[in-house]
Amino acid sequence: LAKTTQPISMDSYEGQEVNITCSHNNIATNDYITWYQQFPSQGPRFIIQGYKTKVTNEVASLFIPADRKSSTLSLPRVSLSDTAVYYCLVGDPSGSARQLTFGSGTQLTVLP
């Protein structure tokens, strides 16, 4: 299993771009990188998934360098409602859940 390392917490201000980096040095060839967002009293919500280079959707962008040993989740112009825990997961999503292991996550706090 590829272990992930993320910052425990980050603070930002409304309107700023936030970049959360995740390290996954032992990523395997078939592994994808997936980010989830979790608000208090809710289950995690899928944000974005990628394999290499850059992926963008309506919520975020995911940057993955060529060696795939890290990835960066970019949230443009955050608002107070983006305050949540963000989890980086690495694994084969077509396999079993045991290959998707939740790390400690990053608590993002957006300040007014």
The beta-carbon contacts of 54-62 under 8 Å, at least 24 apart in sequence, are: 60/35, 62/33, 62/35
* Minimum separation from the CB atom of position 30 to another protein (A): 11
- Residue closer to another protein (CB basis): 12 or 106: 106
86 binds another protein (CB under 8 A): no
CA distance 95 to 83: 31
Nearest alpha carbon to residue 25 among 2, 7, 49: 2
Please report, for residues 17, 52, 67, the alpha-carbon distance to residue 4 in angstroms, rounded to integers and kept in the order given: 22, 16, 15
Residues 30-59 that bind another protein (CB under 8 A): 32, 34, 36, 41-46, 49
Taking residues 89 to 108 in sequence order and writing x for each that binds another protein by CB under 8 A, - otherwise, the string is ----xx-xxx-xxxxxx---
Contacting positions for another protein (CB under 8 A)? 32, 34, 36, 41-46, 49, 87, 93-94, 96-98, 100-105
